[in-house]
Chains A and B, each alone.
Chain A
């Protein structure tokens, strides 16, 4: 087990390194020059070539790309992800400020996706062929197909403008105002959790149906065990492996979905920052955000892989 963990951690570092190289060079291969954008947005009407070069030197964009990359990488090992070209602030400060916001909404959606999706899937499997199975499966299909941004705008219109139950945008930290925070995250969390609920329900149903056909389940029935015990103790536990795998992928999709949701609901999270950074070719921000997100996704998937051993004792790592 220890060997496995070390091996996985080592491979994670390799993956992060490759991701950083890919993002670094890909951003610089994109057409355009962020320095030109800076001077074009400036109120100053004249810029000499010397001034433009001076700005390039200030931002460390004048040397060979390989040198720039290793300068940046050296900073990463010291916790310095560089300074934003557009905002002139340390990237790590802004990421640290925004990541709790994205995690708050994203993890809430993720957990609710499991809490609602898995029981829904179990219900469908147990009541297979019945009206409740048809209804839940149909709703799950809708949940998978509905675009999040459309749903967000509809919810803003209905709950924010017409009914005036919820604020149309913004974010409040739960530590500042818990009730206010709850009101601001209801709609974005709902939009973000819809897909995970739907996909978890479908996968759980499929997985449960597979497991419930097994001989040991038939034996359990024959033994006269209670239905709830059979479903939860035997069937669900054995059917969780694909669901857990899917949830790891679901987390990545939630991070991607947060880009849209944060834009629609004007939430100052990592997703929105990623969009504006890419549009502005703010290299340090893009590199930092991608690195952090990659690390989070890798870590979560690693923990998910480790959890297989708990759910299925037959799985052992060496």
Chain B
């Protein structure tokens, strides 16, 4: 009996090995139509603030986009189901959906440039106390009512009433197609508000007729698509708006998001060929590239170790200790091992596609001897004990954390790694921690001042144990105060963070949109929109 059970168990193991080996290719094929990490972003011509040009198709004149087809996208994040009323959209996953079915006055690109959408031009007052928008004429909401200054005022007033935009004071209608937003205070991150969720415009008439809760799942905007069906935790389907104001667009008939939180299941679904785009990570992309899948990747998030440098009793309060940690970690090796050939070693928090990236920064390249020397100079010749605080999440690669722990340990920084569930981790992240390093993803906002402000700003609600140098705060204030984000000021702020070793970048996370082999989808605009939240579905089309 026992022998039979052992025999059957062994057969099962062999069968499993046989089946799984059948599924993998033994040949390595080159990835189709890709470029190395860090250069996968296709830069588009930037537009000036005062432009009056309407957005035009991004395809060349020789290629006529074909109409038809449904774009199917798989994502693992689950929206909360509030899409159509911008003042109440909080959930990040819902924001992504809303970006397809609503529009703002302009959109922000990955290089911080602005493209006009519902506004044709805008002017920031000399005293920076207001911004005046000239609105696009002849645009209608999906319910047939007019898009005009009154509609914009109503939308922005609700955002102010819901305390979503602390920097906005009031909104004035100048004339039917001119509206002015008055600021409490100005920072160029205010511009990001108009390009993001709080700046999206929906029909006031639809709200007044149907009520707020109806608006949660019904979208009445000016956009190219509207939601036709939402099945919670399963899918959301968006169909074309035939009366879209951009003539001839959209080209697609529909866009469908399928929500598949489990990566293995999502990968299986992708392999059935029924999915056009999978919003995934580098690990699955490396597997897929061997099978001729295509991808578009964009460096976005930088994983960083955040020290409790504001704690005077902590070793991390000393500059030389932080510098030592930077020298101790071989980021090139980490990028090779865990970036699957798609990521680069980061020596600063901004990715190289960002205007905040300092191109001539030498970086504290791996040098264990120098790390030990710095520790000795800091008064820790025998090293010290500390901890690395990690969140149990898809962004946390445990092997990478272990590698970091080993590198630090090799120079004498003996770190215990503690993993916490999201809720507990956020207590540290949104609070304080002692003698340790948070392992945290630093997201890239299109206007990198947004990143600086959210994580390190004077009113930041995270990292209360992190000290911010005077040099950083001065550079940050200057960068925020410029009318538009300016590359030299952004880079000065990045430089200040680097000079103070304020945080320790360890690796890049590449946002990947995996496409089917020989994908027919064109002009998604993934490379150019601000980070990974939105892309240009009104321009996308199937070349078949």
Q: Is the CB of B19 within 8 A of A37?
A: no
Interface size class on chain A is 35 or more
A71 within 8 Å of B by Cβ?
A: no
Q: A32 to B533: give the CA distance in the assembly, Å.
A: 27
Inter-chain contact B423/A31, CB cutoff 8 Å: yes
Q: Is the CB of B423 within 8 A of A37?
A: yes
Which A residues are in CB contact (< 8 Å) with B424? 30-32
Query: Is B422 an interface residue when CB atoms closer than 8 A count as contact?
Result: yes
In the complex the two chains form, is B90's CB within 8 Å of A40's CB? Answer: no
How close is B165's CB to chain A, nearest CB, in angstroms? Answer: 8
In the complex, the answer to whether A32 meets B1 with C-beta atoms within 8 Å is no
Q: Which residue in B81, B95, B265, B427 is a CB contact (below 8 Å) of A266?
A: B265
Question: Among residues 2 to 47 in chain B, which have CB atoms less than 8 Å away from a CB atom of chain A?
Answer: 4-5, 8-9, 12, 16, 19-20, 22-23
Interface stretch, picked from B136-144, B226-234, B237-245, B294-302, is B226-234
Residue pair A161, B423 in contact (C-beta under 8 Å): no
The yes or no answer to B332 lying at the interface (CB within 8 A) is no
B454 within 8 A of A: yes
- Kindly state the separation between the CA atoms of A29 and B197 in the bound complex, as whole angstroms: 34
Residues of B within 8 A of A119 (CB): none
A31 touches B421 (CB 8 A): yes
C-alpha gap A138/B9 in the complex (Å): 10
**Chain A positions 140 through 170: 1 when the CB is less than 8 Å from some CB of chain B, otherwise 0:** 0110001000000110111011101001111
When the two chains form their complex, are residues A160 and B272 in contact, meaning their CB atoms are under 8 A apart? yes
B196 at the interface (CB under 8 A from A): yes
Binds B, one of A213-221, A250-258, A272-280, A293-301: A272-280
Give which listed residue, A46, A268, A279, contacts B459 with CB less than 8 A. A46
The residues of B that contact A167 with a CB separation of less than 8 Å are 272
B534: min CB distance to chain A, Å: 11
Cα distance A37–B92 when bound, in Å? 11
Question: How many residues of B sit at the interface, in one of the four size bands?
Answer: 35 or more
Which residues of chain B come closer than 8 Å to A33, judged between CB atoms?
A: 423, 426-427
Chain B window 461-488, contacts with chain A (Cβ cutoff 8 Å), 1 for yes, 0 for no: 1100000000000000000000000000
User: Is A34 an interface position by the 8 A CB rule?
Assistant: yes
Residues of B within 8 A of A318 (CB): none
How long is the Cα–Cα vector from A268 to B234 in the complex, in angstroms? 7
Task: Give the residues in chain B near A226, CB-CB below 8 Å.
Answer: none
Q: Which among B88, B91, B196 is the interface contact of A41 at CB below 8 angstroms?
A: B91
B271-317, CB < 8 A from A? 271-272
Q: Are A161 and B23 closer than 8 Å at their CB atoms?
A: yes
Chain B: which residue is nearest A44 at the CB level?
A: B164
Asked if A40 meets B426 with Cβ closer than 8 Å, knowing A31-B420, A134-B1, the reply is: yes
If the complex has contacts A88-B82, A169-B265, are A43 and B233 also in contact, measured as CB distance less than 8 A? no
A191 CB to closest chain B CB, in angstroms?
13
Within 8 Å CB of B88, what residues of A? 88
Q: Is B262 an interface residue (CB 8 A)?
A: yes
CB of A263 within 8 Å of the partner chain:
yes
Q: Which A residues are in CB contact (< 8 Å) with B319?
A: none
Give, as a whole number of angstroms, the nearest-CB distance from B452 to chain A.
Answer: 10
A305–B23 alpha-carbon span in the complex (Å): 49
CB-based contact A157/B163 at 8 Å: no
Residues of B within 8 A of A280 (CB): 422-423
B155 to chain A, nearest CB (A): 16
Number of A-B contacts (CB under 8 A): 149
Does A89 reach chain B (CB closer than 8 Å)?
A: yes
Check if B198 is an interface residue, CB within 8 A of chain A: yes
Whether A169 touches B260, Cβ cut-off 8 Å, given contacts A33-B423, A45-B189, A272-B233, is: yes
B269 at the binding interface (Cβ < 8 Å) = yes
* B216 proximity list for chain A (CB < 8 A): 88
| CB pair B92 A41 closer than 8 Å | yes
A103 interfacial by beta-carbon distance below 8 Å: no
Minimum distance in angstroms from B268 CB to a CB of chain A: 4
User: Are A264 and B265 also in contact (CB < 8 A) when A40-B430, A157-B19, A168-B272 are?
Assistant: yes
* A32-B423, A94-B232 known; A87+B261 contact, CB < 8 A: no
Residues of B within 8 A of A42 (CB): 90-92
B450 close to A45 (CB less than 8 A): yes
Q: Which residues of A contact B426 (CB under 8 A)?
A: 32-33, 36-37, 40
- Chain B positions 172 through 192: 1 when the CB is less than 8 Å from some CB of chain A, otherwise 0: 000000000000000001000
Q: Does B410 make an interface contact (CB < 8 A)?
A: no
A157–B23 CB distance below 8 A? yes
B contact residues around A168 at 8 Å (CB):
265, 268-269, 272
- What residues on A are CB-neighbors of B400 within 8 Å? none
Q: How far is the CA of A186 from the CA of B268 in the complex (A)?
A: 17
Q: Which residues of A contact B19 (CB under 8 A)?
A: 154, 157-158, 162
Question: Do A46 and B166 contact each other (CB < 8 Å), given the known contacts A86-B80, A170-B234?
Answer: yes
> Which one, B1, B268, B459, contacts A161 given CB within 8 A?
B268
- Shortest beta-carbon distance from B540 to chain A in Å: 23
Closest A residue by C-beta to B7: A138
Considering residues A33, A39, A41, which has the most beta carbons from chain B within 10 angstroms of its beta carbon?
Answer: A41
Q: How far is the CB of A135 from chain B (nearest CB, A)?
A: 8
A-B contact pairs, 30 of them (CB 8 A): A31-B423, A32-B423, A32-B425, A33-B426, A37-B426, A41-B90, A42-B92, A43-B89, A46-B457, A46-B461, A48-B166, A86-B91, A87-B232, A154-B19, A156-B265, A160-B272, A161-B23, A164-B272, A169-B260, A169-B268, A169-B269, A263-B262, A264-B264, A266-B234, A266-B259, A266-B262, A268-B232, A272-B233, A272-B261, A279-B421
Q: List residues of chain A with CB under 8 Å of any chain B CB.
A: 30-34, 36-48, 51, 54, 86-89, 94, 97, 134, 137-138, 141-142, 146, 153-154, 156-158, 160-162, 164, 167-171, 263-266, 268, 272-273, 276, 279-281
Contacts A31-B423, A32-B421 given; 4 further ones with Cβ under 8 A? A31-B427, A44-B198, A168-B265, A170-B234
